[in-house]
Amino acid sequence: MPDGRALSLRTRLFVLIVVPQLVLAVLASVVLHWMARDMSRNLYDDTLKVVAHAVAREVMVTKGDLIAESLLTSLEGAIGDPLFYQVHAAGGRFIVGRTDAPPMPAGREYPEAVPVFYNAVYNGAPVRAVVLREYITDPELDGWTTVRVWQTVTRREALTLQMMGQAAAVVALMVASGAALVWFGINRGLSPLTDLRNAVALRNSHELRPIRRRVPREVVPLVATINSLFQRLSLELDRRRAFISNAAHQLRNPVAAIQAQADSALNARSDADRQQRLTDLQELTRRLSRLTQQLLRLDAASDGPDAQSCAPVDLAQIVAEVARRHVPAALRRDVDLSLDGVEGPLPVAANAVLLEEAVDNLIDNALKYGTPPGSALSLELSRARGMAVLRVRDRGVGIPREMHEAVFDRFFRVSTADDGGSGLGLPIVRTIARRAGGDARVEPSAQGCVILLTLPLVQSDEKTS
């Protein structure tokens, strides 16, 4: 089951796009705050400098009298904060204004004709002050006159906050609008994935057609993988259905025969007749058991592990061990069973149990159908073009050329005689071989039958391991 707690792709994309925008918005707000403070300070400082010049002119005109209240009120109305001033003549002689002016920070100088701004505290409130020295030629004020003007910073701070608030509102509006557009764009961009999800949801065990709808280029590999999965699943379901149908068909006759023999045994009129019926019943159950085992092995071979997931096994060793088990049966039939091997092992990547089953079926079929009493059965191992090769050569009547492929079909039998065969031996062999990357086929021969089993040899690094 998928983990439903994980973030959706839509949410993940939204977060990855919007979060950087939020970070940039915060950084922009900080920059705008500093810009607003600088702008407000420069604006008010320029105004404060103009006021200092006006105070200097007014003092010169009035010959050192107090500035008219109307002018001071007009200046305060223009800049919004209370104004205070102080004027000293040359030599530091006090002329007019406040006597308790906020002092300049230690170490600061009074350059001539250049305004000097500084921050201070006056009557417990923060103020911004400017000092301006001007040379005045006048009988009363002759020389460098020092004008000091200061004002509270309430209005300039309010202006800074107002400018920053407006900028922050614009940034927030842009971020919100951008987030809404991003969300809309993501939904539109992911709509093909939603359509793809709906298309996949429509598939079931009876409907596994490939998905043909148009999708973005980035999703094409995913759709190709899904279609490949559907194809493999469809083939597997068809194989399962065919297996069930064939199994039901093949099991029906033996079961019916067992039931008939059981009924006959129950209704037998003599002990000898009953014993014969029971003997026939035992043979039928033995055949049914073998048929069931072969059906299960065929299914296991069709659904077994791939060659890449199997450890290398030695084909020569497996053939020798299986041939050794068939020696008693060969001796009973007066058959010369021989093994012609090769020097060294024949490592192949295959399931050891299934490979042993394939070799066992080849030898068993040859002993049953291709080795008359007094004949020979040869097992020949070799290497050819990177393949391990096993030839099972008998001396029987052989298989007609037109049936060389048909004998590998399920339940196909060359002979119609009731010899206990199921027609599954060679299909099992080919299925196991192809599962391991090889093949099994009938090789044309002038005498008897030759079944050729080929399997790819493992690479040198696998041999070393």
Q: Which of 301-310, 386-395, 396-405 has the lowest mean pLDDT?
A: 301-310
Mean pLDDT score, 364-388: 89
Residues 365, 403, single domain; the answer is yes
pLDDT digits over 166-195, tens only?
888 888 888 889 889 888 888 888 788 888
In the 8-state DSSP scheme, what is residue 8? P
Residues 411, 428, single domain; the answer is yes
At residue 461, the pLDDT reads: 42
Residue 126 has pLDDT above 90, yes or no: yes
Could you tell me if residue 176 is inside a domain?
Answer: no
Cα separations (Å) of 336 from 322, 329, 341, 375, 425? 15, 11, 16, 6, 22
At residue 308, the pLDDT reads: 53
Residue 463 has pLDDT above 50, yes or no: no
Could you tell me if residue 445 is inside a domain?
Answer: yes
Mean pLDDT score, 8-29: 84
List all residues 6 or more positions away from 140 whose beta carbon is below 8 Å from its beta carbon: 63, 64, 89
Residues 311, 296, single domain; the answer is no
| Contact present, 441 and 401 (Cβ < 8 Å) | no
Could you tell me if residue 70 is inside a domain?
Answer: yes
| Contact present, 131 and 48 (Cβ < 8 Å) | no
Residues 297, 400, single domain; the answer is no
Could you tell me if residue 126 is inside a domain?
Answer: yes
Quick one: what percent of the chain has pLDDT higher than 70?
85
Residues 263, 346, single domain; the answer is no
At residue 64, the pLDDT reads: 63
**Is the dihedral angle over the CA atoms 185, 189, 193, 196 positive or is it negative?**
positive
Q: State which of 303, 332, 350 marks the end of a domain.
A: 303
pLDDT digits over 252-272, tens only?
667 777 888 788 888 888 888
Residue 3 has pLDDT above 70, yes or no: no
Residues 405, 428, single domain; the answer is yes
Residue 87 has pLDDT above 80, yes or no: yes
Is the overall model pTM greater than 0.75, yes or no? Answer: no
Cα separations (Å) of 310 from 30, 101, 330, 346? 63, 95, 32, 15
Distance CA 350, CA 313 (A): 7
Residue 444 has pLDDT above 80, yes or no: yes
At residue 327, the pLDDT reads: 92
Q: State which of 303, 335, 356 marks the end of a domain.
A: 303
Residue 465 has pLDDT above 50, yes or no: no
Residues 312, 283, single domain; the answer is no
Residues 449, 396, single domain; the answer is yes
Q: State which of 268, 303, 338 marks the end of a domain.
A: 303
Cα separations (Å) of 124 from 45, 119, 121, 154, 321? 21, 13, 6, 13, 107
Domain housing 441: 307-464
pLDDT digits over 396-440, tens only?
888 888 888 888 887 777 765 555 556 777 888 888 888 888 999
At residue 392, the pLDDT reads: 93
Averaged pLDDT of the chain: 81
Q: How confident is the model at residue 36 (pLDDT cuts 50, 70, 90)?
A: confident
DSSP 3-state of 226 = helix
Could you tell me if residue 171 is inside a domain?
Answer: no
At residue 171, the pLDDT reads: 84
Could you tell me if residue 153 is inside a domain?
Answer: yes
Residues 243, 119, single domain; the answer is no
Residue 15 has pLDDT above 60, yes or no: yes
Q: Read off the CATH number of the domain in which 154 is found.
A: 3.30.450
Mean pLDDT score, 13-30: 85
Distance CA 258, CA 280 (A): 9
pLDDT digits over 308-366, tens only?
556 789 999 999 999 999 999 899 889 999 999 888 889 998 888 888 888 988 998 88
Total domain count, the chain: 3
At residue 336, the pLDDT reads: 92
Quick one: what percent of the chain has pLDDT higher than 90?
15
Answer with the residue of higher pLDDT: 464 or 48. Answer: 48
At residue 462, the pLDDT reads: 41
